[in-house]
Chain A
Amino acid sequence: MDEFSGVLVQLRKGALQYCVLACLRPGASYGRQLAQQLSEEHGLLESQGTLYPLLSRLRKQGWVSTAWQESASGPPRRYYELTELGHRALEAFEQDWTPFRDDVDAVLNATR
């Protein structure tokens, strides 16, 4: 069983950054909120801490921007927001992802 456990890790690795972008599409969000959304609502993050290096990379790529905002219930938080480039990257991923997923499903179903 162990030799196959890495499949999900690899699939997540490629898709997670686009899921982060998708979570930011409705509006800006802060790290903890994103981590909870991805791990508790969607089960895409095993360790919430692994989100932060990814957020840093997305910022470096120019796909998200950050800004400090006052919080009603605590210290100011760093909010992440999708940039125009990030929007375009997400759209490009969506265009590729749907036919790719359909192709994989088709192969799996046809050979059952």
Chain B
Amino acid sequence: MSTEKSKMSETPGQQLAEAYLRDLERALSGTDPREREETLAEIEDQLRDAEAVDPQGAEVRRVIDRLGSVEAIAAVASPDEHGTGTPAAVPGRQKDWFVIGTTILSGVALVTTFLFFPVAAVIALVTFVLGIVQLFTSRMGKVLPVLSIVFSAIVLVLVALAIIGLLAWQETDSSYEIIEDDAGEVEEGP
């Protein structure tokens, strides 16, 4: 059975149909999930019928020409935010505010660096991780997640420099004490 399926997937008709369905699925991302699912199912049925008629792909090509571009189909689909028609079902909008909040928080971390850097470091660490996650998941584009990452990275670098500076200062301070002690022993010796 699986051999038969893999043989079928090698026909030009199957390849054309799968490429179109892939493009359509991509074009419909961000649209109402139910509309997307039903549209894909209807179009997949048509393409499978066409494959059965002509595995070489001529019929699939004709069906695709009739269906039109995936962009044209996506253009008439409802956006995800308003698709379900219930106020509770707006996860996309909630995520947007989450992205904005993360960017603001990373800005706060940047300002806090100069006041109390341990707090800034913790905030920056969190916003850095969130920024990376949002870079791949945000529906608002990549500008805000990139800003969050940049702000957080600046804070983390500044904090790292501050820690290195502190350690260096402590080391210098303790070596002065050793020199002072040594000097004291020399004076008291004879």
Enumerate chain A interface residues (CB-CB to B < 8 A). Answer: 13, 31-32, 35, 39, 46-50, 52-57, 59-60, 74-75, 77-78
Q: How many B residues touch A, CB cutoff 8 Å?
A: 27
CB neighbors of A among B20-46 (8 A): 24, 31-32, 34-35, 38-39, 41-43, 45-46
Pick from A13, A50, A75: contact of B73, CB below 8 A.
Answer: A50
The answer to whether residues A53 and B34 also contact, given A31-B42, A74-B49 and a CB cut-off of 8 A, is no
Using CB atoms and an 8 Å cutoff, list the residues of chain B in contact with chain A. Answer: 24, 31-32, 34-35, 38-39, 41-43, 45-46, 48-49, 52, 66-70, 72-73, 75-78, 85
Consensus secondary structure, chain B interface: helix
A-B pairs with beta carbons under 8 Å apart, 17 shown: A31-B46, A35-B66, A39-B66, A46-B68, A46-B72, A47-B66, A47-B73, A48-B66, A48-B67, A49-B39, A50-B73, A52-B38, A52-B73, A60-B34, A78-B41, A78-B42, A78-B45
Q: How far is the CA of A63 from the CA of B73 in the complex (A)?
A: 21
Q: Which of B32, B39, B72: most chain A CB closer than 10 A?
A: B39
Residues on B with C-beta less than 8 A from A53 are 31, 35, 39, 73, 76-78
